[in-house]
Amino acid sequence: MHRDVERVLFSQEQIAQRVSELAAALSAEYQGRNPLCIGVLKGSVFFMADLLRQMDTMASMDFMILSSYGQGSVSQGKVKIVKDLDVEIVGRDVIIVEDIIDTGHTLAQLMKLLDTRHPASIKLVTLLDKPARREVSFVPDLCGFTVPDEFLVGYGLDYAERYRNLPYIGVLKRAIYE
Ligand code: PRP
């Protein structure tokens, strides 16, 4: 375990197991279709890569970069598109792939925006959901794990761009960020 991590919340094996369950659910739902999976960078990269490789159906990929927190560390409730999609989504089945939902601002605004582009359907799958921090009501269609209100790192999640490549999800020691 990394010395800055207080404890492992989900091991590599637990994540792999849950990701294959989510992939099985999506495979059943999208059988015979070709959904466009939209990864919200950067946190979703490992989840997206693992999830799509387990999906037993056609799936296309695109990515967006959003900036949700402005300059500070506290959500300002405003989402800016830094990188938009490369493709049109009109008439497409869209699956947004996220690493975590926290306040809900990012996803609520992204869903609203993508809806104006008239996809055939739009669903959200998130690996982690932290409902204790919610500021706008938002419920994911599929969720890997509900998590407590702690500072999580690994498997895509960062603190100051560090720890994203830890293969597990851990709780960061307070001394690192306080
Ligand atoms: C995280 C996460 C979501 C957003 C959720 O991204 O990936 O996009 O925050 O927060 P919210 O529910 O409070 O809006 P972040 O802005 O940390 O960027 P990153 O994925 O590059 O780490």
Residue 162 lies in a domain: no
Mutate which of 74, 102, 130 for ligand 1? The one with the most ligand atoms within 8 Å of its CB, which is 102
Residue 143 lies in a domain: yes
CB 97 within 8 A of CB 123: no
For residue 104, which atom of ligand 1 is closest to its CA?
A: 12
- Identify which of 126, 105, 123 has the alpha carbon closest to the alpha carbon of residue 114: 123
Residue 158 lies in a domain: no
Residue 173 lies in a domain: no
pTM, full prediction: 0.93
| Total structural domains within the chain | 1
Residue 8 lies in a domain: no
Q: Using the mean position of ligand 1's atoms as its centre, give its distance from the Cα of residue 80 in Å.
A: 12
How far apart CA 96 and CA 117 sit, in angstroms, is: 14
For residue 40, which atom of ligand 1 is closest to its CA?
A: 8
3-state DSSP of 63-80: EEEEECCCCCCCCCCCCE
Q: Which domain holds residue 52?
A: 13-148
CATH number for position 101: 3.40.50.2020
Residue 164 lies in a domain: no
Q: Using the mean position of ligand 1's atoms as its centre, give its distance from the Cα of residue 75 in Å.
A: 10
Render each residue's pLDDT in the chain as its tens digit; 178 residues: 999 999 999 999 999 999 999 999 999 999 999 999 999 999 999 999 999 999 999 999 999 999 865 544 445 567 889 999 999 999 999 999 999 999 999 999 999 999 999 999 999 999 999 999 999 988 999 999 999 999 999 999 999 999 999 999 999 999 999 8
How far apart CA 110 and CA 94 sit, in angstroms, is: 12
